């Protein structure tokens, strides 16, 4: 390859101003639309969009009634893609998720009846109510965008974006996700109760009849299509990361593996999530390159569900957010 060809190849891999504007415009449309219904939770809305750009999946944890499911349903309504939702229960079997071969009496042959996982946007509500056997049915789909039924592999059309919710505070009739299952989610976030002013705004909207979810969702016009999502994913991947920024990401991941309060540090999937998430953050800020602020902003959501504290740290009251803050403050910024 000549020097000219190399320069052309690099320039084609860099994101342009018009591509940045496309990402910013779509995000503003999504954020403003959701904001007319959901009070607060701006960080959740942004992280869902970042997950979409990063071609990853998101785990939303939090108290009941904090708009986890509603937010996911509105995002799905704004995307003109095939959407499926599963309300999880302990008696759901893997075949209910990925599908099963059924006998076609007329054609005298087995036909594949695909489950809800074969969709573009898949909402898994209260995933920790599934048995471990059923939870494992998601692993192949989330990692490889495919599912295996009776030894036959079936591809899932891209984009494939899974949004899982769970209430981590319930203790009965639930099955906590294993570490390998949590690691399949690119990002995780814990929703919180609204602050006083936001709670008052929620009450005002309810009083004025503005919080009828099904009615609101029924009025939404899609601002995203399947092809547009794929294009935005491609745009975000073009955001540049200088070598020193790549090293910064590595140093943060390595710090999770060497911290005294951490028994099990982040996997290499954390490095990928951190890089992709930082690129998406930069794109939302109309930048064609990542900076330390992007990495620091996305780090807790990319890493916190991938680390396990030592027993001594847990007994001492150490928390994962506190450890993450220590790591971000201790790693040298380039």
Give 300-320 pLDDT, tens digit per residue.
999 999 999 999 998 988 999
Q: Write down the pLDDT at residue 3.
A: 39
- Domain borders along the chain are 17-238, 240-334
Taking the C-alpha atoms of residue 145 and residue 119, their distance in angstroms, rounded to an integer, is: 10
Taking the C-alpha atoms of residue 279 and residue 20, their distance in angstroms, rounded to an integer, is: 11
Contact 224, 305 (CB under 8 A): no
The pTM of the full predicted model, rounded to 2 decimals, is: 0.87
Q: Report phi then psi at 272, rounded to 5.
A: -65, -45
Taking the C-alpha atoms of residue 33 and residue 36, their distance in angstroms, rounded to an integer, is: 5
Give 41-99 pLDDT, tens digit per residue.
788 889 988 999 999 999 998 877 777 778 878 888 888 888 888 888 888 888 888 88
Contact 144, 104 (CB under 8 A): no
Superfamily the domain 240-334 falls into: Magnesium chelatase subunit I, C-Terminal domain (1.10.8.80)
Mean pLDDT of the chain: 86
Report the alpha-carbon angle 233-80-29, nearest 5. Answer: 70
Name all contacts of 200-209 with Cβ < 8 Å and 24+ positions apart: 201/39, 202/39, 205/39
Structure tokens at 157: 């059309």
Q: What is the mean pLDDT of residues 266-294?
A: 94
Class of domain 17-238: alpha beta
pLDDT band, very low/low/confident/very high, at 269 (cuts 50, 70, 90): very high
Structure tokens at 77: 């309504």
């Amino acid at each position: 390859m000549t020097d000219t060809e190399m320069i052309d190849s690099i320039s084609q891999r860099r994101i342009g101003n018009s591509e940045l504007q496309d990402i910013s415009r779509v995000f503003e449309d999504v954020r403003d639309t959701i904001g007319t219904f959901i009070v607060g939770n701006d960080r959740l809305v942004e992280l869902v969009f970042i997950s979409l750009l990063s071609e990853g999946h998101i785990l939303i944890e939090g108290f009941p009634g904090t708009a986890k499911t509603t937010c996911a349903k509105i995002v799905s309504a704004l995307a003109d893609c095939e959407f499926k939702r599963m309300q999880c229960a302990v008696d759901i079997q893997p075949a209910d998720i990925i599908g099963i071969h059924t006998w076609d009496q007329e054609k005298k042959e087995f036909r594949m009846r695909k489950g809800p996982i074969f969709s573009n946007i898949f909402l898994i509500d209260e995933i920790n109510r599934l048995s471990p056997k059923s939870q494992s049915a998601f692993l192949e789909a989330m990692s490889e965008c495919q599912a295996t039924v009776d030894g036959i592999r079936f591809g899932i059309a891209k984009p494939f974006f899974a949004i899982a919710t769970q209430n981590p505070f319930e203790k009965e009739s639930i099955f906590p996700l294993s570490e390998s299952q949590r690691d399949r989610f690119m990002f995780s976030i814990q929703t919180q109760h609204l602050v006083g002013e936001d709670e008052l705004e929620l009450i005002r909207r309810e009083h004025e009849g503005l919080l009828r979810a099904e009615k609101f969702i029924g009025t939404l016009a899609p601002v995203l299509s399947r092809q547009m999502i794929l294009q935005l994913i491609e745009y975000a991947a073009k955001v540049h990361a200088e070598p020193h920024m790549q090293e910064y990401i590595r140093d943060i991941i390595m710090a999770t593996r060497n911290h005294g309060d951490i028994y099990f540090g982040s996997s290499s999937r954390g490095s990928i999530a951190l890089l992709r998430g930082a690129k998406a953050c930069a794109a939302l800020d109309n930048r064609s390159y990542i900076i330390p602020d992007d990495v620091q902003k996305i780090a807790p959501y990319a890493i916190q569900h991938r680390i396990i504290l030592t027993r001594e740290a847990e007994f001492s009251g150490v928390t994962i957010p506190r450890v993450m803050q220590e790591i971000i403050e201790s790693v040298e910024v380039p």
